[in-house]
Amino acid sequence: MKKSLFVFLFTAIPFLFSAVSPESSAVNTPLPDPETFPVPNGIPGLLFYIQRDPNTNTICYELNVDKNGNFEAEDPVHVFWIRYPEGGMRKELNFIQRKFAYGINVKANSNGSYDLRSVAYSKLPLHLRKDAHNKYHVYTDINKKECVLSRVFIRIDGGSFWSPNVLFIELKGTDVVSGKTMVQRIKPS
């Protein structure tokens, strides 16, 4: 058992660090503007996506449907990478990424909606539910307005794999009443 755990750690840890670990930014090197990152397009059922430093790899959260296009009510959200530096390759999250970084905890409600919480930042309530046109969206409050969430950007400047130095989390979405784009930065505590 100890040998198999050692083999797992020896082979998995280098991949994990290259995929999700922050790298310290060089002194006086400006961090990239989140608006310059690529936007995932052409993903049916895309709910929202997360981008973060130090690269443009993107974590996508899409409505989970089976091969016939039927909604998977028992597991409503599918999470995966788009690895832009590798030609836009789509890749599944590994176990540690799902359980400690980018996974989502889901609680079904009796009215057909779902409460969602990030495994890494559970303070932000997210709600998966249908709109008036019977289409699912993820809703959250941005600047005290109910919004359809479209993007989360995490500004990381150094730190380590298990404890990155998160400067802020930026939420972007559309106000359900006014239709205006809303942006809010949260400083994690």
Is 17 inside a domain boundary? no
What CA–CA distance (Å, rounded) separates 88 from 52? 16
Per-residue pLDDT of the chain (189 residues; tens, 9 = 90+): 433 333 333 333 333 333 443 343 445 567 788 889 999 999 999 999 999 988 999 999 999 999 998 899 999 999 999 999 999 999 999 999 999 999 999 999 999 999 999 998 899 999 999 999 999 999 999 999 999 999 999 999 888 877 889 999 999 999 999 999 999 999 987
Residue 104 lies in a domain: yes
Our count of domains for the chain comes to 1
**Whole-Å CA distances, 103 to 24, 77, 95, 134, 178:** 24, 10, 9, 25, 31
**The pLDDT of residue 175:** 98
What pLDDT, on a 0 to 100 scale, did the predictor assign at position 54?
A: 83
Whether residue 100 lies inside any domain: the answer is yes
The parent domain of residue 98 ranges over 45-186
115 falls within a domain: yes
Supply the pLDDT for residue 61.
98
DSSP string, 64-104: -B-TTS-B-TTS-EEEEEEEGGGTSEEEE--HHIIIIIS-E
Within a domain: 105: yes
Tokens representing residue 133 in the block: 């046109």
**Per-residue pLDDT, 19:** 43
Question: What does DSSP assign to residue 31?
Answer: P
Q: Is residue 147, in this structure, part of any structural domain at all? A: yes
Q: Report yes or no on 51 lying in a domain.
A: yes
Global confidence as pTM: 0.83
Non-local (6+) Cβ contacts of 151 within 8 A are 34, 48, 49, 50, 51, 170, 171, 172, 173
Does residue 34 form part of some domain? no
Helix (H, G, I), strand (E, B), or coil: what is residue 185? strand
